[in-house]
């Protein structure tokens, strides 16, 4: 039987998840189903308010916080080839070490940041600025955009940031807050190369793969065979 055929899916019982916060409900869902596949829709169902049934905005950010802030390992199709898009697995309940509590700018500083940013996300990538404005609908992640302050230098690199210095902060949408958290290892202050490679497309992954093969003195004969260089 193939690895894909061996995947174990859960049967969702929403009545088990009445914790007060969205993050707590999602955490309980994964902890109750270690090693089993949980779908995006099942996460959304558990994230809904258990009393009103209202679907929360940016539930995906709460999911990311379980990885980046709580230290859980939650795998997706980027980590395991047998997982389909919008499928997730928490293999164990073990937690990694995480960074300490983060500081925030003062209210006056945050208003200066928002004014400078024209109330739009300042994330820059490939020469482009995100530019989504507070209140927009995120066309990729879904939900209403809410800008939040981001400490430009990773917290683990420069934990003592002047809360009065607007130049030390930037306005980011929820999606790009998640991207930045995933790309930095807050326990070491170094780039999280594992997360960077996970986020890369298939072609870029193969470039990295062949770079590492060359670095360690191997070459690829075919999809199943490697040989050491002479």
Q: Is the pLDDT of residue 4 over 50?
A: no
Q: Is the pLDDT of residue 75 over 80?
A: yes
Q: Round to whole Å and give the CA distance between 219 and 181.
A: 34
Q: Which whole number is the average pLDDT over 31-51?
A: 95
Query: In DSSP terms, which residues pair with 219 in a beta bridge?
Result: 227
Residue 137's alpha-carbon distances to 56, 143, 145, 173, in angstroms, are: 13, 6, 6, 11
Q: Is the pLDDT of residue 157 over 60?
A: no
The pLDDT value given to residue 203? 83
Q: Round to whole Å and give the CA distance between 137 and 174.
A: 11
The pLDDT value given to residue 1? 35
Query: Helix-strand-coil percent breakdown of the chain, rounded to 5?
Result: 35, 15, 50
Contact 175, 63 (CB under 8 A): no
103-117: pLDDT as tens digits: 789 999 999 999 999
The pLDDT value given to residue 120? 96
Q: Is the pTM of this model over 0.75?
A: no
Residue 193's alpha-carbon distances to 111, 161, 180, 200, in angstroms, are: 34, 25, 12, 11
Closest CA to 13 of 82, 38, 138: 38
């Amino acid at each position: 039987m193939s690895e894909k055929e061996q995947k174990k899916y859960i049967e969702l019982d929403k009545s088990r998840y009445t914790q007060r916060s969205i993050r707590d409900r999602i955490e309980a869902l994964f902890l109750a189903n270690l090693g089993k596949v949980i779908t995006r829709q099942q996460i959304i169902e558990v994230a809904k308010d258990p009393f009103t049934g209202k679907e929360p905005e940016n539930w995906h950010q709460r999911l990311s916080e379980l990885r980046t802030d709580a230290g859980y390992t939650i795998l997706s199709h980027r980590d395991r080839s047998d997982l389909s898009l919008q499928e997730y697995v928490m293999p164990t309940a073990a937690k990694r070490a995480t960074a300490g509590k983060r500081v925030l700018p003062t209210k006056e500083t945050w208003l200066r940041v928002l004014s400078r940013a024209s109330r739009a996300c300042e994330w820059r990538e490939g020469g482009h600025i995100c530019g989504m404005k507070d209140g927009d609908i995120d066309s990729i992640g879904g939900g209403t955009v809410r800008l939040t302050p981001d400490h430009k230098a990773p917290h683990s690199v420069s934990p003592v940031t002047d809360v009065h210095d607007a130049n030390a902060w930037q306005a980011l949408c929820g999606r790009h807050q998640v991207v930045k958290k995933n790309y930095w290892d807050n326990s070491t202050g170094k780039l999280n190369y594992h997360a960077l490679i996970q986020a890369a497309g298939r072609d870029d992954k193969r470039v990295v793969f062949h770079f590492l093969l060359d670095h360690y003195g191997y070459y690829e004969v075919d999809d199943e065979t490697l040989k050491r260089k002479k």
